Amino acid sequence: MNAAEIARDVSARRVSAAEVTAATLARVQAVDGDVGAYLTLLGEIARSSAARVDERIAAGEHLALAGVPIALKDNMCLEGARTTCASKILEHWIAPYTATAVARLLEAGAIPIGKANCDEFAMGSSCENSALGVTRNPYDLARVPGGSSGGSAAAVAAGEAAIGLGSDTGGSIREPAAFCNLVGFKPTYGRVSRYGLIAFASSLDQIGPLARSVEDAALAYDIMAGYDPMDATSLDRPVERTADSLRADLAGLRVGIVREFDTKALGERSDALYREAYRDLERLGAELVDVSLPTADYGLATYYLIAPAECSSNLARFDGVRYGLRVEGADVRAMYDNTRAAGFGPEVKRRILIGTHALSSGYYDAYYVRAQKARTLIARDFERAFAQCDLIACPAASCPAFVFAAKSDPYSMYLMDYYTIPMSLAGLPALSVPCGWTVPEGGNLPLPIGLQLCAPLFGEKLLLGAAAAYERATNHALAHPAQIGTVPA
């Protein structure tokens, strides 16, 4: 059952939230030893939350997410629960408050099942950078689930939650969604409060849902979105409801195909699937339009200056003094050094060093300032493209899910976000929706890939509506490798 179905049944009292929660926890017990989606299971909190939901339903309350089990990425605070960012430096930290996005879902009747694994401090594209656990792709346990929101994606794909909450800085919701045959949605920057999200890069981080259907993603977004005075970057602008506005076709829409995003570079099989996806958009009534993003190729370099610079600033607070791990030393400086050396993993250290260098005297103008100027040019290119089209379609990831340790050098891993980073730099809403299956080179099992759709700022209603039409027409999200008779050539 998807989230909307669960909520309808619990609201109608055909099943109780307690029963849904018990079944979900039993499912976690049965499969998570293999999948490894969760770092912390919230059994007691889940059961008490379910009891409260059943009481509220009995009292006549309407709850949009009544009894819906959710997985929370472990960089989001939940009062009284361990919140680690998958890092040794916060391994035993208990959050004293709840993130606004999480609180809004719980108020709507959602049940928190557990804190999901991720790349440490959300820095990664495979979930391999976690210091506290290994998460595997439910479709092929020898492969990664994508990152950084890999635990949330794996939990939903494996039936251990109906909705996963993730954060997307450069593609960390969309890429794991593509790897796990899910819908992964990053709203416009500032649409969903970041209060209670432990920051990686403050001008890029955005919370969003991972779900098995566009309807579920829209349902979760409608509840989370809206102004929050606790977040200085939250936008005080009315939010259009999206779950009631899903489309049946794409008639009248112009969909931009980006000239610079040549899918032939992805290999023959992936190229064929994306070309078929574009034809599906056309069959649904869309007009395909050629658009150009001439500065998109600079997105990777721009992102890997801005994001590490903000990471260097944000992670300075983890010093062993106020909270988290402390490793003693001969003096305060030695304690700082010892704590950060022991507490941070290799990728986090790498990004701190890159960011600190980019912000340092003599290099600030050459690197950080120039990157911000490039970011402005990328945003302007999108504005020009959207003058010619209503939506943009392109790949959501550079390849299907890969085997563990296949991308051992940083550059090949960073390239995974090539197609998602430009949208993040421009603050645009974007999502990944399942668009087919392919057998990767050297693989045996068919694996899912995702189509990325992107809209102008505040275009969530249009974006989710179009994605729903594509989803209903193609039914890729309902497919499973065992049900696929032929694998696309």
Q: What is the pLDDT of residues 147-183, one digit of tens each?
A: 999 999 999 999 999 999 999 999 999 999 999 999 9
For residue 377, the cross-strand partners are: none
3-state secondary structure of 8: helix
Q: What is the pLDDT of residues 42-94, one digit of tens each?
A: 999 999 999 999 999 999 999 999 999 999 999 999 999 999 999 999 999 99
238 shares its domain with 261:
yes
212 shares its domain with 308:
no
Last residue of a domain, one of 312, 342, 365: 365
CA–centroid distance for 94 within its chain: 23
Confidence band for 323, pLDDT divided at 50, 70 and 90: confident
251's CB contacts (< 8 A; 6+ apart) are: 284, 285, 286
CA separation (Å) from 56 to 20, 49, 437? 16, 11, 42
- Of 263, 218, 140, 225, nearest in space to 471 by CA: 218
- Is 371 within the bounds of a domain? no
Q: What is the pLDDT of residues 3-12, one digit of tens each?
A: 999 999 999 9
Q: Is-cis flag, bond preceding 16, omega within 30?
A: no
Q: What is the pLDDT of residue 106?
A: 98
439 shares its domain with 484:
yes
| Number of structural domains in the chain | 2
359 shares its domain with 392:
no
CA–centroid distance for 71 within its chain: 12
- Is 313 within the bounds of a domain? yes
Q: What is the pLDDT of residue 478?
A: 81
Average of pLDDT values for 363-379?
Answer: 97
Place of tokens 């919230």: 42
pLDDT for 481 beyond 60 = no
Which helix (H) or strand (E) segment is 451 a member of?
strand 447-454
386 shares its domain with 463:
yes
How is residue 327 written in tokens?
């490793």
254 shares its domain with 308:
no
- Is 43 within the bounds of a domain? yes
pLDDT for 381 beyond 60 = yes
282's CB contacts (< 8 A; 6+ apart) are: 288
316's CB contacts (< 8 A; 6+ apart) are: none
How is residue 369 written in tokens?
């300032």
Last residue of a domain, one of 344, 365, 386: 365
Tell me the CATH number at 273.
3.90.1300.10
- Is 370 within the bounds of a domain? no
3-state secondary structure of 418: coil
**What are the φ and ψ backbone dihedral angles of 257, each rounded to 5 degrees?**
-105, 120
DSSP string of 302-319, one letter each residue: HHHHHHHHHHHHHGGG-S
Q: What is the pLDDT of residues 190-213, one digit of tens each?
A: 999 999 999 999 999 999 999 999
Average of pLDDT values for 105-126?
Answer: 98
Q: What is the pLDDT of residue 249?
A: 96
349 shares its domain with 390:
no
Q: What is the pLDDT of residues 392-430, one digit of tens each?
A: 999 999 999 999 999 989 999 999 999 999 999 999 999
Angle at 43 between CA 196 and CA 197, to 5 degrees: 10
pLDDT for 290 beyond 50 = yes
CA separation (Å) from 283 to 255, 276, 389, 390? 12, 10, 17, 17
- Is 134 within the bounds of a domain? yes
Confidence band for 482, pLDDT divided at 50, 70 and 90: low
Average of pLDDT values for 362-373?
Answer: 96
465 shares its domain with 412:
yes
345 shares its domain with 404:
no
Q: What's the rounded Cα separation, in Å, for the pair 86 and 131?
A: 6
Mean pLDDT of the chain: 95
Q: What's the rounded Cα separation, in Å, for the pair 402 and 342?
A: 29
349 shares its domain with 395:
no
- Is 224 within the bounds of a domain? yes
Which amino acids are annotated catalytic?
Answer: 73, 148, 172
Last residue of a domain, one of 315, 332, 365: 365
234 shares its domain with 181:
yes
Range of the domain at 136: 1-293+378-489
346 shares its domain with 472:
no
- Is 373 within the bounds of a domain? no
pTM of this structure: 0.96
- Is 423 within the bounds of a domain? yes
